A and B are shown apart, each in its own frame.
Chain A
Amino acid sequence: MPLLEIKDMTVGYGRIEALHGISLSVESGELVTLIGANGAGKTTTMRAISGVRPLTRGSIMFDGQDITRMKAHLRVLAGIVQAPEGRGVFPGMTVQENLDMGHYARKFANKAEYQATLDHVFELFPRLKERRAQMGGTMSGGEQQMVAIGRALMARPRLLLLDEPSMGLAPMIIQQIFRIVSEINATGTTILLVEQNAQQALSRSDRAYILETGEVVKSGPGPELLADPAIKEAYLGVA
């Protein structure tokens, strides 16, 4: 049984339908990537999984449970945590306070567990430890991305949703972020990743889905899609 299973999901904004019945699944422990052009509906998919955008048709199953109508904050409790597109860092909170918002819904059983998780986040992102007293809004773009991911990790997600973590970052930082994403996945967290950076994302993910104007047009193992000529042309800029 997959950890996340989406069937025939349709989502719209007013009368505009952004997703026309997409189906996808993520197995426990997998790193799955969602690739698509601007406006294909990737963020919409993520928002629907997080529960901040309602479905007009279809269903979402998480860990065998139907969560189609579940409230957003209850999904966080269930273990679905998102680092949103554009990072969504709380600008007036310090880095530490941002991280602490991560476990707002999923409280820690004890201090030791809290400390261990925080240490883990600081291990992944030493920069955050240095800057824990700095205001979130004054962090650089790359640093804010680290805050967003770190904050999501503080919720100890079972399914981590990452919406374009590499957006607007320098190649060096992108490398680093991808390495960390793989690392998080390697330690057992299931990840659904949205990316424009197809080369990096495909080579690192177990499987991938290609989204085009609200529909899944192709799916398969990451490396396999990477070798697909059509995809090469469309997403990697290689003729």
Chain B
Amino acid sequence: MSTPVKQTSATPLGRPHAGVGDRFRLWWNAQSRPAQWAFGVPFILFIALVPILNIPVLTTVGTNFGAVMAQFGMIALIAIGLNVVVGQAGLLDLGYVGFYAVGAYTVALLTSPDSPWNQTGEGNWLSQDWAWLAVLPVAVCITAISGLLLGSPTLRLRGDYLAIVTLGFGEIVRLLADNLGEITGGGRGLSQVAYPQLGQTEANPGGLFSAGNVAGRINSGVWWFWLSLVLIMVVLLFVGNLERSRVGRAWVAIREDEDAAEIMGVPTFKFKLWAFTIGAAIGGLSGALYAGQVQFVTPTNFNVINSVLFLCAVVLGGQGNKLGVILGAFIIVYLPNFFLGRTDLFGIPINGNEIANYRYLFFGLALMVLMIFRPQGLLPARQKLLTYGRQLYVAARRTAKRQHGDAGTGDQHGTTGAEEVSR
């Protein structure tokens, strides 16, 4: 019991190929919980304040920076959700935009006056003030169910087949929205979708979250960004805990080798379905945010190209790494907007609009270059298995502490990483 201690304590620290990311992780995991908070909170605050600090160069010129950041928040949520499916469980889903659409249309169908299923207004059960918040969980549930329904037959397929079927799903959702004109308003879409009613003033009758609140530095975009930041953190906490659980271990095993996972007693179909459903729910959440923010949904917002763009964010940022995919989402959203309307950069005259127009070309090129030089993405997932990270480090740190003469901690503190894990 005491011999393996020394060995494991040396292993996690003596990682042979620790890149910058691994070194950062090592450092981060070596900090105590309070220290992590002390570093993390100011960082998150800074991110939250970025749209109102008016930082030169960084602030977009062609579009409202608050609106850009709001869009980033939503795409970041999408990337986190898609990362569960693609990065964690290794399922190639090309129809993710379908879930985004289901979430957005659920909110719109239940709260837009144009919809036959509108539940707001006189004599209906949804109060105008709380409509958006009330349908948010409904949207998440319905999207989760749609994920379950799509996943049940398709997750028996593998690889390419799954990609094709999901691609079809994304298109079907969009085509339904376009063609069921009686219900969805067809190409005209649904307008006046509900949004959070908060902080109405005379100057600002729609409230803080209203699409009409565009004046000033803290406009509706910023408020939506803050709201999505909160939701991102909640989702990250949820997904992070899942990853560290048996579910996460199952996902990693499935991603690594589905047959071997099955033979090791992992109910692979069940866990793939879980990943798919959870991913769908997060996509639906983002869609609901989107519908509330723009207060208007049309089928064109949910083109297949968006699925590819979401996937691009995940791959660019680093599949399997939650922070990586958030960075990927930022790049995807921010870069085109950075160039939009910009006529000079550091004194060099540029045609920003033109550059922004070619964004798909540039993303394509960037992806190709990245795949050659850094196939794992900008912020790769841990070289080793994601799941056990913290436990191993904590165990190693405890042992290291003990070896530094921190006597009297008792034998149970000298557990190896493996023992920690086996719980």
Interface residues of chain A, those whose CB is within 8 Å of chain B, are 50, 52, 71-73, 75-77, 81-82, 84, 88-94, 96-97, 99-106, 108, 111, 114-115, 118, 129, 132-133, 135, 151, 155
Contact = CB atoms under 8 A, between A and B. Distances in A.
B113 interface: no
Given A77-B265, A101-B249, A91 B257 contact: yes
A93 B11 contact: no
B221 interface: no
A105 B385 contact: no
B422 A103 contact: yes
Contacts of B421: 96-97, 100
6 contacts: A81-B264, A89-B260, A91-B256, A91-B257, A104-B265, A132-B418
Contacts of A133: 8, 11-12, 14-15
Q: Which of B12, B252, B259, B385 has the most CB of A within 10 A?
A: B385
Interface in B267-305: 267
Contacts of B388: 97
B260 A100 contact: no
Given A84-B260, A101-B249, A104-B250, A93 B384 contact: yes
Contacts of A93: 252-253, 256, 384-385
A135 B267 contact: no
Nearest to A106: B265
A50 B266 CA distance: 12
B413 interface: no
Given A84-B259, A92-B256, A102 B419 contact: no
A103 B418 CA distance: 12
Contacts of B265: 72-73, 75-77, 81, 104-106, 155
Interface in B10-64: 11-12, 14-15
Contacts of B249: 101, 104
Contacts of B256: 90-93
A115 B264 contact: no
Contact of B263 (A50, A91, A129): A50
A97 B385 contact: yes
Interface of B: 1, 4, 7-8, 11-12, 14-15, 246, 249-250, 252-253, 256-257, 259-267, 383-385, 387-388, 417-419, 421-423
Closest 5 CB pairs of A and B: A105-B265, A76-B265, A88-B260, A133-B11, A90-B256
B246 A104 contact: yes
Contact of B1 (A52, A81, A99, A115): A115
A73 B266 contact: yes
A105 B384 contact: no
B264 A101 contact: yes
Contact of B253 (A72, A101, A118): A101
Q: Which of A99, A108, A114 has the most CB of B within 10 A?
A: A114
A1 B130 CA distance: 67
A104 B264 contact: yes
B279 to A, nearest CB: 20
A105 B417 contact: no
Contact of A102 (B12, B259, B264): B264
Contacts of A135: 383-384
Contacts of B250: 104
A76 B422 CA distance: 18
A88 B246 CA distance: 20
Contact of A111 (B257, B267, B385, B419): B419
B422 A114 contact: yes
A90 B421 CA distance: 17
B263 A84 contact: yes
B264 A105 contact: yes
B263 A72 contact: yes
A172 to B, nearest CB: 26
A99 B421 CA distance: 11
A108 B418 CA distance: 13
B264 A96 contact: no
B1 A105 contact: no
A72 B262 contact: yes
Contacts of A76: 263-265
Contacts of A114: 419, 422
Contacts of B423: 111
A151 B259 contact: no
A73 to B, nearest CB: 4
A129 to B, nearest CB: 8
Nearest to A50: B263
Contacts of B417: 96
Contacts of A151: 264
Nearest to B10: A133
B253 A90 contact: yes
Contacts of A77: 265
Nearest to A46: B263
Contact of A52 (B4, B11, B259): B259
Nearest to B256: A90
Nearest to A51: B262
B264 A92 contact: no
B267 A71 contact: yes
Nearest to B387: A97
B266 A105 contact: yes
B418 A100 contact: yes
